Every structure is written in structure tokens, then in C-alpha cells.
């Protein structure tokens, strides 16, 4: 830890010096930018990720206890990464399919557009209409993916094949399938967000 950083930490934690707090935050913003760049593939703007990471840094500076012996950076990194992951997880919720204990299967049903128009008061009909709209959005998003990524998403979410099973079918490693699946979901989120 730099001598200046140590003095600023003492001033903030012992005396509540808000200027020292501001300087600590500004000193560590390059760390936040570097951590935010790890998630640049997610489809989020780097500036947005940096702002979310800065919130994590502010929390880390406020909660840091210098008597514990670790450096501020060592404490801040997991806090900033946690904020970034939480932000991405919360933004991804509409596309995330719950995994549960593995016994449940995801079933996507089609809705006939030729059927008679349902009553506006029929909740089942309204639910089917929403499912049809969601399916149309999802299909449009899937069409924008490269063929291999589209196949991986279809196998995983529609055919309920594990990542390991997909890897063996396509001749890839499970880690590579995981990365391709994650990248595909980011692209889907981005595509669906545009419509």
C-alpha cells in the first residue's frame, strides 16, 4: 500500500475526512476500469460497467477496516466484481431459465395465430399471447446468432442437454461450450433489447 494511500485511509476511517475518501476513490478508479473491461463482452456499455464498478469501490472504501491487515485493493476487487456480476445478473433475468434440480424441463409452446381471437378478459388467452410474443422475440434473436451458437442455445435450453453433452456432440470442450453459451446469451439480450 502506498504511503499516501495509508495516510488517506487513516484520515477517512479515523477522522471521517470526506476529501480523503474522495481521493481514495479517485486513486482506485483505474482498478475499477480494468475490472469493468473484463465484462465488456456482456453487451453492456463500458461506461455503464465502470459506473457500477465505481459504486462497488465506494462501498469497499466505506466498509474497509485497516486493522484487518489486507490492502484496500485486495478488499475492493471482490466487492467491485460482485457489484458488476450482480448488475449483469439482474439485467439478464428475463432470459435466464431456472435450472432447478435438473428434473424440470423447459417447454416452449407455440400459439396458433389462426385461432379465433380470444376474449380480452380470458387470463389463459392473455398468457398464451404473451408467450407467443416472447417466443417471436426469442426466435428473432436466435436468427442473429451464428449457426454453431444457435445450435448450442437450442440444445441447452430447448432440448435440455447439459454443457458436457453439447461438448461431446459438437467435439468441443465443456469450457468452450460454456463461453459460447454465455456469449450467445449476451448477444440475445442485446438483440432483444433493441426490439
pTM metric for this prediction: 0.45
Domain final position from 35, 70, 92? 92
Residues 177-183: contacts with CB within 8 Å, 24+ apart?
A: 177/152, 180/148, 180/149, 180/152, 181/149, 181/152, 181/153, 181/156, 183/41, 183/149
Sign of CA dihedral 45, 47, 51, 54: positive
From 8, 116, 92, select the one nearest 44 (Cα to Cα). 92
Considering the domain architecture, whether residues 140 and 74 belong to the same structural domain is answered as no
State the residue range of the domain holding 54: 3-92
Q: In which region does residue 102 sit, left (phi positive, over 0), alpha (psi from -120 to 50) or beta (all else)?
A: left
Q: Is 86 part of a structural domain of the chain? A: yes
Question: Does residue 44 lie within any of the structural domains?
Answer: yes
- 50 shares a domain with 130: no
pLDDT tens across 145-164, in order?
888 998 888 888 878 889 99
Judge if 68 and 25 occupy the same domain: yes
- pLDDT, one tens digit per residue, over 45-79 is 888 888 989 999 898 888 888 777 778 888 888 88
Number of domains, the chain: 2
Q: Is residue 179 part of a domain?
A: yes
Q: Are residues 7 and 87 in the same domain?
A: yes
Query: Are residues 86 and 166 both part of a single domain?
Result: no
Position 117 scores a pLDDT of 53
Q: Is residue 58 part of a domain?
A: yes
Residues 133 and 181 in one domain: yes
For residue 189, the domain's CATH number is 1.10.10.10
**Residues 186 and 139 placed together within one structural domain of the fold:** yes
Co-location of 88 and 15 in the same domain: yes
The label of the residue with cell 461450450 reads 177
Specify if 110 maps to a domain: no
* Cell numbers describing residue 109: 409452446
Q: Are 36 and 50 in contact (CB under 8 A)?
A: yes
Amino acid at each position: 500500500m502506498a504511503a499516501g494511500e495509508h495516510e488517506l485511509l487513516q484520515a477517512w476511517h479515523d477522522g471521517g475526512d470526506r476529501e480523503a475518501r474522495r481521493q481514495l476513490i479517485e486513486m482506485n478508479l483505474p482498478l475499477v476500469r480494468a475490472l469493468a473491461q473484463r465484462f465488456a463482452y456482456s453487451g453492456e456499455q463500458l461506461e455503464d460497467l465502470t459506473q457500477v464498478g465505481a459504486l462497488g469501490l465506494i462501498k469497499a472504501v466505506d466498509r474497509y477496516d485497516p486493522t484487518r491487515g489486507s490492502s484496500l485493493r485486495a478488499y475492493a476487487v471482490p466487492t467491485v466484481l460482485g457489484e458488476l456480476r450482480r448488475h449483469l445478473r439482474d439485467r439478464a433475468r428475463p432470459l435466464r431459465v431456472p435450472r432447478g434440480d435438473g428434473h424440470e424441463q423447459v417447454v416452449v409452446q407455440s400459439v396458433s395465430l389462426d385461432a379465433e381471437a380470444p376474449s380480452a378478459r380470458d387470463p389463459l388467452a392473455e398468457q398464451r399471447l404473451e408467450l407467443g410474443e416472447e417466443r417471436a422475440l426469442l426466435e428473432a434473436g436466435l436468427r442473429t446468432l451464428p449457426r454453431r451458437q444457435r445450435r448450442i442455445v437450442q440444445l441447452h435450453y430447448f432440448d435440455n442437454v447439459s454443457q458436457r453433452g453439447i461438448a461431446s456432440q459438437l467435439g468441443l470442450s465443456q469450457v468452450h461450450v460454456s463461453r459460447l453459451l454465455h456469449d450467445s446469451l449476451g448477444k440475445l439480450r442485446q438483440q432483444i433489447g433493441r426490439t
